[in-house]
């Protein structure tokens, strides 16, 4: 099947949740379809993308990002006075539209899959089936982020939610189908887009890279992993430090929390002490997870599903999270995970796992089986194939695209198989949101 895959950034060397999802879906597409990639990247990123996906040589149509760091800062203010969302402004590109027009004049595709709604806002002149892979319901995500206390940010997120509601609903209504990551997202989209088919294509985990540890964790230790410039992560860990951790310390004075993630704000870094370890960006999150006794996910906002939950399940760590933190994942409180939505209960759940190793082990075993059975990227790719078949009425998909050789397969799988799934490249850094 010929697939045109539209991306807002390169997934080469993925360092956050969106890039990880795109990377693994693209990995599947390259193995079983004839894929062309179009979107945004730097020339260096494009070279790296082709290096990691050799079959994309001659099949990438990428242009420079239509924004700079300075433009991003000014666009936040400018967006307050425009009818379009900030993300819409950042991704508008005449250069890319022209490249897309030329590509669609020259080739016919069976499927055009856009990663995020913003990539579907470009004009398509093609009879192909149009699909948006919606990582979140974006307007709902912004609505949740509007709970922040900062008045400027609160105004900004309220406006973004309103603007993106109009933009997202309009572009999604023109699609032949939506891929969504959770049942909750399906229910939200059903309120405004009842007639657009929706397919559950969940987030997953690379079970070659994230594997169970054999070392004994440090007693009374916790870990939180996430890109800290992402508002839900910053809000969640701030709530944990302000309202949950003091309760834990009252009963367990030697308890520690290690906060692992890129770009921690100064307000978090300044709190580092013997009980609070703030690492900033790290090359590999696994050693920090390995040392921890409990994995905490104290999120109060966000959308889609959290890859960090599935990663913790895959390495057999007991998890304490909020209801929002584990949305869209088929976990059960008391069986594969512990859920608490207020500070006292959250603290009690953590202390329970500190003091009851058998309880922790039971959760770990059930959680591990769950992720192995439902959330491996290989299984998720097959779910995507089934959706393609139904939407295109093509009853069979070739096992591999024309010209695909065993050497190609080995070159692609090298990134996943060597060094315990460490993508055979120490520059690839894992940091999910």
> What would the CATH number be for the domain defined by 2-204+377-417?
3.40.50.2000
Q: What is the pLDDT of residue 269?
A: 94
Of 248, 368, 379, nearest to 319 (Cα)?
368
Name every residue whose Cβ is closer than 8 Å to that of residue 315 and which is 6 or more positions away in sequence: 210, 211, 212, 213, 286, 289, 290
d(CA 334, CA 401): 45
**What does each of the 433 residues of the chain score in pLDDT, given as a tens digit?**
999 999 999 999 887 888 999 999 999 999 999 999 999 999 999 999 999 999 999 999 999 998 766 656 666 677 777 888 887 888 889 999 999 999 999 999 999 999 999 999 999 889 999 999 999 898 898 888 888 878 888 888 888 899 989 999 999 999 999 999 999 999 999 999 999 999 999 999 998 889 998 889 999 999 999 988 888 899 999 999 999 999 999 999 999 999 999 889 999 999 999 999 999 989 899 999 999 999 999 999 877 678 899 999 999 999 999 999 998 898 999 999 999 999 999 999 999 999 999 999 999 999 999 999 889 999 999 999 999 999 998 655 555 555 555 555 555 555 444 433 343 333 333 344 4
User: Structure pTM?
Assistant: 0.81
Residue 326 near residue 337 (C-beta atoms within 8 A):
yes
| The pLDDT of residue 430 | 38
State the CB neighbour count (10 A cutoff) for residue 278: 18
Burial label for 392, CB within 10 Å (0-12, 13-18, 19+), is middle
**The pLDDT value given to residue 71:** 59
Asked if 2-204+377-417 and 221-374 have one fold, the answer is yes
pLDDT of residue 297: 96
Q: What is the torsion angle, in degrees rounded to the nearest 10, for the CA atoms of residue 225, residue 231, residue 236 and residue 237?
A: 60
Q: What are phi and psi of 193, to 5 degrees?
A: -130, 60
DSSP reduced 3-state for 400: coil
Handedness of CA 60, 66, 68, 74 (dihedral sign): negative
* Total residues found in the chain within this entry: 433
* pLDDT number for residue 73: 64
What is the DSSP code string of 250-299?
HH-TT-EEEEE-SS--HHHHTT-SSSEEEEES-S-SHHHHHH-SEEEE--
Starting at the edge strand found earlier in the chain, the sheet holding 198-200 runs 60-63, 34-40, 2-7, 111-115, 129-134, 177-180, 198-200
How distant, in Å, are the alpha carbons of 37, 132, 362 from that of 359? 47, 41, 5
Q: Residue 386: what pLDDT? A: 94
Q: In the chain, where are the structural domains located? A: 2-204+377-417, 221-374
**Model pLDDT, residue 429:** 36
Cα distance between residue 319 and residue 340, in whole Å? 11
The token pair that represents 303 in the structure block = 């959308």
The strand pairing partners of 132, in sequence order, are 114, 178
Contact 263, 291 (CB under 8 A): no
CA 47 to chain centre: 23
* Pair 145, 350: CB distance under 8 Å: no
- Shortest CA distance to 317 belongs to which of 347, 361, 276? 361
CATH topology of domain 221-374: Rossmann fold (3.40.50)
From the DSSP assignment, how many helices (H) and strands (E) are in the chain? 17, 13
- Position 46 scores a pLDDT of 96
């Amino acid at each position: 099947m010929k697939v045109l895959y539209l991306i807002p950034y390169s997934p080469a060397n993925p360092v956050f949740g969106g890039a990880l999802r795109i990377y693994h879906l693209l990995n599947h597409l390259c193995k079983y379809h004839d894929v062309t990639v179009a979107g945004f990247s730097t020339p260096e990123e494009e070279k790296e993308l082709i290096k990691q996906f050799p079959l994309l040589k001659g099949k990438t149509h990428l242009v420079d990002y239509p924004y700079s760091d300075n433009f991003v800062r000014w666009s936040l203010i400018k967006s307050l006075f425009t009818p379009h969302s900030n993300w819409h402004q950042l991704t508008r590109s005449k250069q890319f539209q022209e490249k897309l027009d030329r590509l669609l004049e020259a080739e016919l595709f069976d499927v055009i899959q856009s990663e995020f709604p913003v990539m579907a806002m470009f004009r398509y002149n093609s009879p192909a089936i149009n699909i948006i892979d919606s990582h979140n319901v974006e307007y709902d995500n912004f609505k949740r982020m509007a709970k922040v206390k900062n008045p400027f940010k609160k105004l900004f997120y309220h406006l973004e939610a309103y603007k993106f509601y109009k933009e997202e609903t309009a572009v999604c209504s023109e699609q032949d189908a939506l891929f969504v990551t959770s049942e909750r997202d399906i229910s939200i989209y059903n309120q405004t887009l009842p007639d657009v088919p929706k397919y559950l294509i969940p987030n997953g985990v690379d079970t070659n890279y994230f594997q169970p540890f054999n070392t004994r964790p440090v007693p009374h230790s916790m870990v939180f992993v996430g890109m800290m410039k992402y508002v839900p992560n910053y809000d969640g860990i701030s709530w944990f430090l302000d309202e949950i951790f003091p309760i834990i310390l009252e009963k367990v004075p030697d308890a520690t929390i290690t906060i692992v993630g890129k770009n921690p704000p100064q307000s978090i870094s300044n709190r580092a002490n013997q009980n609070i370890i703030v690492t900033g960006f790290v090359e590999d999150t696994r050693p920090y997870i390995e040392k921890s006794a409990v994995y905490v996910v104290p999120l109060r906002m966000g959308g889609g599903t959290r890859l960090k939950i599935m990663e913790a399940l895959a390495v057999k760590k007991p998890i304490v999270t909020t209801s929002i933190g584990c949305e869209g994942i088929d976990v059960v409180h008391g069986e594969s995970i512990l859920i608490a939505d207020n500070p006292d209960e959250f603290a009690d759940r953590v202390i329970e796992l500190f003091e009851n190793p058998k309880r922790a082990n039971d959760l770990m075993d059930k959680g591990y089986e769950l992720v192995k059975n439902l959330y491996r990227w290989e299984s998720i790719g097959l779910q995507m194939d089934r959706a393609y078949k139904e939407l295109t009425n093509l009853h069979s998909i070739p096992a591999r695209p024309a010209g695909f050789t065993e050497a190609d397969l080995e070159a692609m799988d090298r990134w996943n198989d060597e060094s315990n799934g460490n993508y055979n490249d120490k520059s690839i850094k894992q940091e999910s949101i």
